[in-house]
A and B are shown apart, each in its own frame.
Chain A
Amino acid sequence: MPNTKEDIVKEWDLTIEPQTSLFDLNLKDVWRYRDLLWMFVKRDFVSFYKQTILGPLWFFIQPLFTTIIYTFIFGGLANLSTDGLPQPLFYMAGITAWNYFADCITKTSTVFKDNANIFGKVYFPRLIMPLSIVASNLVRFGVQMLLLFMMMGYYAGQNASFKITPAILLFPVLVMLMALLGLGLGLIITALTTKYRDLAFLVTFGIQLLMYTTTVIYPLSSAPEKYKTLISLNPMTGIIEAFRYAFLGQGQISVNTLGYSTLFTIVVMVLGILIFNKTEKTFVDTV
């Protein structure tokens, strides 16, 4: 019989108990299953364009058409300012960044519901699934960035007024912030909607509305003074502005706004992981 505590630890590899500590995140397990994450990303990418003629080109279609429509409505009809940037370029930059964030939220926010079947049959660290969603959206985002670069190339040839600034070095940080913010919010939503689905209805149109409070279709500089604080409270505003400044040279970038976005992201992310971790153990019974 084991007498000391070490012996007990060695005797068993795994202990299943009803309640585990809130901070028992099992990140080691997540790392062990990293191959699975890659498999899911590959599955999402390959199955996206199977049995299509244009294949991965479909990644271009959505931002391209959205840009055309925005240029026509917000640029042409509403005549909103674009800080002197070519309108399509201005919208394309905003849409590409925003879409990544929005996709991360919407897809992760239904992760429990969508995968109830597979989660109900086999164990793997549940966090792998939302992480893989963020990663496969990253692939999509990368392809859409190519489109933005092509457009920048075209406008550079036209001698349009935009410039790439050294802030471009912040690009990885910005992508990371968008991914984690989307992931964190998505995790919170999916954990809260396993039992009561009400919140899920809010997500799709909530994101749509959120876009208008972010500086996607207008620059922060042209926002009315009394709403500026309000718009800046949206953590995505600082990120989109910085993104646009980095690639196009127009936008308001400051340590304050980015610091606020970073802090907000970290809080949301930690909260999201904790809630998700708490929910994943029994959600199979309630989903």
Chain B
Amino acid sequence: MAKAIKVENLSKIYRLGEIGTGTISRDIERFVKTKILKQEDPFLKIGETNDRATKGASDIVYSLKDINFEIEQGDAVGIIGRNGAGKSTLLKILSRVTSPTTGKINIKGRVASLLEVGTGFHPELTGRENIYLNGAILGMRKREIDRKLDEIIDFSGVERYIDTPVKRYSSGMYVRLAFAVAAHLESEILIVDEVLAVGDAEFQKKCLGKMGEVSKGEGRTVLFVSHNMAAVQNLCNKGILLDEGSCYGLGEVYEVISDYQNKQLKFLENNDVLNFIYVRVIDAKIEITLRMSSITNPIIGFVINSESGLKICGANSKNDGILICCNNEFSELKIILKQPKLNNGNYTLSLWISDEWKDYLFLEDAFSFQIYNNDQKSLTNSKHGIVTAEVIWEL
């Protein structure tokens, strides 16, 4: 498969507090040292990783540090990480809004980036005029927009308001129109920052659907930043985890998501019983993966809770008559739930590990996960309650 994006040794530094390097004297110092004396940049040396919570010794931080990865054509890549991990900086550099401090990026194909919806919308202009303006800003030619105008208006679902100035629009309508323009860009690479925060559930699903169509159907490369793990998992096949400006490689999306979620779980650090936990939905079955240390004949119990705290179901290996043998130092265990079929929503998992004599681990709401089903696309199709009932209708 051909490469679409290749990133080599990419770094970007920012200075905290004041702008630039702060004072004109330090600017001059830097200029003299690097340009005239050809020394190493003094401000790059003192940089440290970007940990937003702790106070650092220097006010130069690496927003991105030595990032390397390659993305193949047709991949949908989810970029995940905590706030301030460098996700947006990476997208900004990829979309040429700002330039890197060091490193190199090679790109094959036209890039369309959507770091914000409705960039350049003018409040006084009508929806139609803004489609043209916004389209041109995103790099479309006028002829291209002419051709797609009807499709864009149709997708946005604000046809009735199309000749009204956008300042009269509700914020949701505004986003709808803006995303509609961006979704119809013809580009080989689509870069999307978390822009779907506004807009109702129906439209969010429409957007995700459109993006899925773009990557799976049309074979275009998609880079997607989101904190919505369900959306990332649903849309992307690859993932990149950024943490404090460093990149933990490119991997299969569920591995990267589990890495990320495990990093968030403080109890996994220095835990000698459990060191990995991950929940995903695959083929409409819930799959829980655990990696535990060797306990002789452990008993494992779990409960799945709904967001409101309601206990939905649970199981216990002893009650099910299962004897678990752990031979290796850490062995992996999969728990697969065929039933119940959970509806869309947020759920948490409580976990209990013990043997005949004592409790090793009891974690209430240890892991949270989201269920997001493709087949529940529109509101009219949504289901009531927590689980899907299997119903037979007889007349």
Residues of A within 8 A of B (CB): 11-18, 33, 35-36, 38-40, 42-43, 46-47, 50-51, 117-124, 195-196, 281-282, 284-287
Q: Are B108 and A35 interface neighbours, CB within 8 A?
A: no
Task: Give bound CA distance, A258 to B130, whole Å.
Answer: 42
B282 at interface (Cβ–Cβ under 8 A)?
Answer: no
Q: What are 22 A-B pairs with beta-carbon distances under 8 A?
A: A12-B106, A15-B107, A16-B100, A16-B105, A17-B105, A18-B102, A18-B103, A33-B139, A35-B141, A36-B137, A46-B125, A47-B122, A47-B124, A119-B97, A120-B97, A123-B95, A123-B96, A123-B113, A124-B139, A195-B20, A196-B24, A285-B19
- Which residues of chain B have C-beta atoms less than 8 A from A12's C-beta? 6, 106-108
Q: Give B90-120 as 1s and 0s: 1 = Cβ < 8 Å from A's Cβ atoms.
A: 0011111111111111111111010110011
Task: Give bound CA distance, A11 to B102, whole Å.
Answer: 22
Residue of B nearest to A123 (CB): B96
With A15-B104, A18-B99 already in contact, 10 other A-B pairs whose C-beta atoms are closer than 8 Å: A15-B105, A16-B94, A16-B104, A17-B105, A18-B102, A39-B142, A40-B133, A119-B97, A122-B115, A196-B24
B386 at interface (Cβ–Cβ under 8 A)?
Answer: no
With beta carbons under 8 angstroms apart, the residue of B97, B108, B142 that contacts A122 is: B97
Residue of A nearest to B2 (CB): A11
Q: Are B129 and A124 interface neighbours, CB within 8 A?
A: no
Instruction: Give how many B residues have a beta carbon under 8 Å from the other chain's beta carbons.
Output: 45
Task: Give bound CA distance, A287 to B119, whole Å.
Answer: 18
Q: List the 5 shortest-distance A-B pairs measured between CB atoms, nearest first.
A: A36-B136, A16-B105, A123-B96, A12-B106, A14-B107
With beta carbons under 8 angstroms apart, the residue of A15, A17, A51, A285 that contacts B98 is: A285
Smallest beta-carbon distance A135→chain B, Å: 14
Q: Are B19 and A51 interface neighbours, CB within 8 A?
A: no
Task: Give bound CA distance, A38 to B139, whole Å.
Answer: 13
* Known A16-B93, A18-B101: A118·B119 in contact at CB below 8 Å: yes
Q: Are A43 and B19 interface neighbours, CB within 8 A?
A: no
Q: Are A14 and B106 interface neighbours, CB within 8 A?
A: yes
- Which residues of chain A have C-beta atoms less than 8 A from B119's C-beta? 117-118, 121-122
Q: Are A46 and B96 interface neighbours, CB within 8 A?
A: no
- Which residues of chain B have C-beta atoms less than 8 A from A39's C-beta? 132-133, 136-137, 142
Q: Are A122 and B99 interface neighbours, CB within 8 A?
A: no
Q: Are B97 and A121 interface neighbours, CB within 8 A?
A: yes
With beta carbons under 8 angstroms apart, the residue of B104, B110, B120, B124 that contacts A46 is: B124
Q: Are A51 and B124 interface neighbours, CB within 8 A?
A: yes
Task: Give bound CA distance, A119 to B98, whole Å.
Answer: 9
- Which residues of chain A have C-beta atoms less than 8 A from B109's C-beta? 13
Task: Give bound CA distance, A90 to B108, whole Å.
Answer: 58
Residue of A nearest to B89 (CB): A285
Which B340-362 residues have C-beta < 8 A from chain A? none
Residue of A nearest to B123 (CB): A47
Task: Give bound CA distance, A122 to B92, whole Å.
Answer: 8
Q: Are B100 and A35 interface neighbours, CB within 8 A?
A: no
- Which residues of chain A have C-beta atoms less than 8 A from B94's C-beta? 16
B326 at interface (Cβ–Cβ under 8 A)?
Answer: no
Task: Give bound CA distance, A15 to B100, whole Å.
Answer: 12
Task: Give bound CA distance, A265 to B139, whole Å.
Answer: 31
Q: Are B139 and A286 interface neighbours, CB within 8 A?
A: no
Task: Give bound CA distance, A284 to B6, whole Å.
Answer: 24
Task: Give bound CA distance, A43 to B119, whole Å.
Answer: 14
